[in-house]
Amino acid sequence: SFIGEESVAAGEGSILTANPTWIIDPIDGTTNFVHRFPFVAVSIGFVVNKEIEFGIVYSCVEDKMYTARKGKGAFCNGQKLKVSGQQDITKSLLVTELGSNRDPETIKIVLSNMERLLSIPIHG
């Protein structure tokens, strides 16, 4: 099976089943792409029994290929990735995405979450 993000965004329905399924977003960061903001990627995932088996993200502008496989770790251009180990959130850089849902209730929840994050003395 195949699920394409652009098709779903255009209103086509999709149902994730237990069947092996490719999930593809050919322009991950469509809004960035439309506005010529240079952070876009091609994202591909493979799911079996509704569980991710592996994923690939190609960051076009950076020419970086991120890969991950269930139980095998994540890599960038073949180099193993690891988390920083930082446990103190005040020494961390937080990045967030506001999402595209403009439903008033969703906006309230997102802004409430942002307010809680911004009250922590973080780097950015």
* 27 marked ligand binding residue: yes
CA end-to-end distance (rounded Å), the chain: 40
As given in the structure block, the two tokens for residue 40 are 């876009």
As given in the structure block, the two tokens for residue 102 are 């403009």
* 28 marked ligand binding residue: yes
What residue has token string 């890599």?
75
* 25 marked ligand binding residue: yes
What residue type is 14 in one-letter code?
A: S
* 88 marked ligand binding residue: no
Annotated binding site: 5, 25, 27-28
User: Binding site for Mg(2+), residues?
Assistant: 5, 25, 27-28
